Amino acid sequence: MHSTGAYATLNLDNIERFTVVATPTLVNDNLASIAPQYRYDASNIALPLHVNDILVQSPSVTLNGQGGQIQNINIRGFSRWRIQSLIDGVPIISDRRAGSSAGFVPPSLIDSVQVSTGGTSTYLGSGAIGGAVNLIFADRLRPTLRIGYDTNQSMQEYQFAGGGDTTDFMVSRRTANNGSDAKGNSLFDQFTQSTLFLRYNPKYSANFEHSIGTNKKASKSPVTSAWTLFSNNSDIGKSSSDFPQRRITEYPTNKHWIGKVQFEFNTTNTDIDADIWWHTSNLDTETLRPAQRINESNSDASDFGGNIRGNTLGSYTPSFLNEWNVDWQIQVRGRENVAINESEFAIDQLYFRSNSQPDSQLDSQKQRGNHGTLVFKRQTLNASEYNIAGLLDASRTLDNTTYAFGARVDWQHQRNQNHNQPDNQISSQSTAQVNNSLSSDEISIQNTQTSNAFATNLSGFVGIKHAVNRHLYSSLNLSTAFRNPSLVERFFSGETPRGSVLGNSGLRTEQATNIQGGLYFKKKAKANAVSAAVEVFHQRITNYIERRSIDENTLTYRNLNSAVIRGITYALSWEPLNTSWRFNTAGAFISGKDASGVRIADIPPRHAEVSAQYTYNDATLFGTLRYRASKTDIGDGERTLPDVYTLDVGATFSLSNNLSLNLSVRNATNQHYYTTADDRAAFAQGKSIQGALTLLL
């Protein structure tokens, strides 16, 4: 599906079966046949400075945590390690509590995004209890030269894409200074980004198309696609309200190498496709506490995995499934060399200009070059993780009703290899402090000195979709999901930009049960075209893991007894036929509390948006008005928020057959507001103007 509006069209017809060369999907066809998966693209939104700008078109997706280039997202009240982010099907795993960020990918490389809500552990395993997003490359990159600019950060973008019959590539370079909020105060959101993308796509070869179109037994390579991306990011500022008086956090280096190779094997009885993927990452963090100390950390990880899938069980198919569409899959994943090393320095001399000056900022080069006495140097995490899973799903349509179910068995082994760290677990004194702070309905932290953690989990889904008529249908599905504690939650003990954090090896696996129902309508008549969707969901999580304070400067993790997140999302698109207009509206109401009735963190306030698009000759104009309600009932680590309205406007001009111009204005009314309810979040950028020229070569 390709959107032409400021808000993407709802994908309500995603019920056909996919081929192995189709766009990568978050879930298999059988779940998609009863629970629509939504897709949004970058058409006619204010020029994206971050891939999150494409994602937040969904009413289910909001920003989360603190700002900057490593900003994270929230899906219907779930965030951090509870949602899964993927790039072309490759999971992006982060050891930051804030969760994974795809900010290392230039948004111009992403053609569209897929959003799946609710528990999707059946397909994605641990960590997908709140949903998932998949960033999708364009099927084929056209030879182009692109130059872009943003006024708020003086961001400059240079991009060149090209390729031949079966290969394409893109080179991108982006640099940005610190921006400013609506009152002109400096935001620490600078970054530098260099990216190289290479892809081999034999499906565009004439010989390949002929072989699969006329004779499936024709000799051809089993490789259907292969791509790799290298991204080098440096001098990334963490946009936080701590800047610059309390803390100044910078990421001097953020490197990623990611790739995937896909295969297809045709046999007499079945088609089998498979893939292997990898992702190596390196993140350096430097946190300055003025007149106190400097903490540096280096985080490395090597992630890898593979999948093999088939669409029949052959002679092993049970008789009761003979009339069903059956898929199976085996997944293998691993994490090696997951290590964090930390150093602390006392400050002898600090080069810092007063924040009262307009150009106030820390000279990071002088900062790093004038460290004082080394206080300590230690390894705060050294661990590995291995995972293997098998899943089976099936669907069938009878008359006007589709039935589907799926199940997964998942085995995981985590190993702590950092035995020399003296404070690798919560001390007895700290454990007592935390336990004394727990109410009777909460679960105490266990101080078990373990080097290995094993987990076996089952998850699944079952649901139906009923077509009331050819325009309206309803769906109802029930799913279970799980999240094993992360390596950081279990085994990390060290310093973070928020303070000292102690791991808790006694944490239990989060378990979630999600029930979701929806009504979907789509009609194209002589007068107009309308599509709409309303979804209601209720999700209960047991052993919910939260980070809580031991004292003013020390944090740890603990299990709560349970938490419930529920809400409603809606979206409506109206396109009067024989006109040049298109209108959209969308929004969400979400709440979340623990078993004691206390608000949990990361629940977004009520929000809604209205957008309009108008096309005239070779120009398309659009505007989007967004409303975020106030938030006064807050969770731990949050601040209250007033309500706010923001406006984005823009236009796309086709100057010739080969040249186009994009112009947009973000926060056009220059509103002054916090980006999220996180108590360390900074203000949003003030009004900014973006422009981009794209030349088709």
Q: What is the pLDDT of residues 566-589, one digit of tens each?
A: 999 999 999 888 888 999 999 999
Per-residue model confidence (pLDDT) at position 211: 45
Per-residue model confidence (pLDDT) at position 443: 32
Summarize the confidence of residues 84-95 as an average pLDDT: 91
C-alpha dihedral, 462 to 10 to 73 to 550, nearest 10°: -40
Per-residue model confidence (pLDDT) at position 204: 62
Summarize the confidence of residues 308-327 as an average pLDDT: 77
Query: Average pLDDT over the chain, rounded to whole?
Result: 83
Per-residue model confidence (pLDDT) at position 25: 66
Per-residue model confidence (pLDDT) at position 315: 62
Between these two residues, 661 and 497, which has the higher pLDDT value?
Answer: 661
Summarize the confidence of residues 185-206 as an average pLDDT: 87
Position 40 pLDDT exceeds 70: yes
Does residue 372 contact residue 346 with C-beta atoms inside 8 Å? yes
User: How does residue 497 score in pLDDT terms, banded at 50, 70 and 90?
Assistant: low
- CB neighbour burial string for 533-553, b if at least 16 within 10 angstroms, e if fewer: bebbbebbbbbbbbbbbbeee
Instruction: Render pLDDT for 536-567 as a digit per residue (tens, 0 to 9).
Output: 999 999 998 887 777 767 788 888 778 899 99
Position 436 pLDDT exceeds 70: no
What's the CA gap between 134 and 130, in Å, rounded?
A: 14
Instruction: Render pLDDT for 47-63 as a digit per residue (tens, 0 to 9).
Output: 888 888 888 888 999 99
C-alpha dihedral, 599 to 601 to 607 to 613, nearest 10°: -160
Position 15 pLDDT exceeds 70: no
Structure tokens at 452: 């290995």
Peptide bond into 244 cis (omega under 30): yes
Burial bucket for residue 267 (CB in 10 Å: 0-12, 13-18, 19+): exposed
Per-residue model confidence (pLDDT) at position 268: 63
Position 429 pLDDT exceeds 70: no
Per-residue model confidence (pLDDT) at position 269: 65
Position 39 pLDDT exceeds 60: yes
Instruction: Render pLDDT for 333-388 as a digit per residue (tens, 0 to 9).
Output: 999 989 999 988 887 654 443 333 434 444 544 444 556 688 888 898 999 999 99
User: How does residue 667 score in pLDDT terms, banded at 50, 70 and 90?
Assistant: very high
Q: Is residue 10 part of a domain?
A: no
Q: Is residue 427 part of a domain?
A: yes
User: How does residue 693 score in pLDDT terms, banded at 50, 70 and 90?
Assistant: very high
Query: Out of 319-323, 418-422, 577-581, which region has the weakest mean confidence (pLDDT)?
Result: 418-422
Q: Is residue 21 part of a domain?
A: no
Summarize the confidence of residues 397-423 as an average pLDDT: 85
- CB neighbour burial string for 392-421, b if at least 16 within 10 angstroms, e if fewer: bbbbbbeeeebbbbbbbebebebbbebeeb
Between these two residues, 609 and 497, which has the higher pLDDT value?
Answer: 609
What's the CA gap between 88 and 46, in Å, rounded?
A: 23
Instruction: Render pLDDT for 90-118 as a digit per residue (tens, 0 to 9).
Output: 999 988 877 888 899 999 899 888 888 88
Position 414 pLDDT exceeds 70: yes
Q: In the chain, what percentage of residues exceed pLDDT 90? A: 48
Q: In the chain, what percentage of residues exceed pLDDT 70? A: 83
What's the CA gap between 105 and 444, in Å, rounded?
A: 40
Per-residue model confidence (pLDDT) at position 425: 44
- The total number of residues shown for the chain amounts to 697
Per-residue model confidence (pLDDT) at position 451: 81
Residue 621 amino acid letter: L
Q: Is residue 176 part of a domain?
A: yes
- The total of structural domains in the chain comes to 1
DSSP 3-state of 208: helix
What's the CA gap between 502 and 430, in Å, rounded?
A: 9
Per-residue model confidence (pLDDT) at position 210: 44
CATH number at residue 463: 2.40.170.20
Per-residue model confidence (pLDDT) at position 643: 96
Q: Is residue 605 part of a domain?
A: yes
Q: Is residue 15 part of a domain?
A: no
Q: Is residue 24 part of a domain?
A: no
Instruction: Render pLDDT for 220-246 as a digit per residue (tens, 0 to 9).
Output: 678 899 999 999 999 999 888 888 888
| Domain residue limits at 500 | 29-696
Per-residue model confidence (pLDDT) at position 87: 93
Per-residue model confidence (pLDDT) at position 349: 52
What's the CA gap between 115 and 61, in Å, rounded?
A: 8
Between these two residues, 1 and 574, which has the higher pLDDT value?
Answer: 574
Q: Is residue 280 part of a domain?
A: yes
Per-residue model confidence (pLDDT) at position 314: 64
CB-CB neighbours of 244 under 10 Å: 18
Write down the pTM of the prediction: 0.85
Per-residue model confidence (pLDDT) at position 519: 94
What's the CA gap between 407 and 534, in Å, rounded?
A: 27
Structure tokens at 576: 């009067």
Alpha-carbon distances, residue 435 vs 352, 490, 598, 662 (angstroms): 42, 17, 18, 57
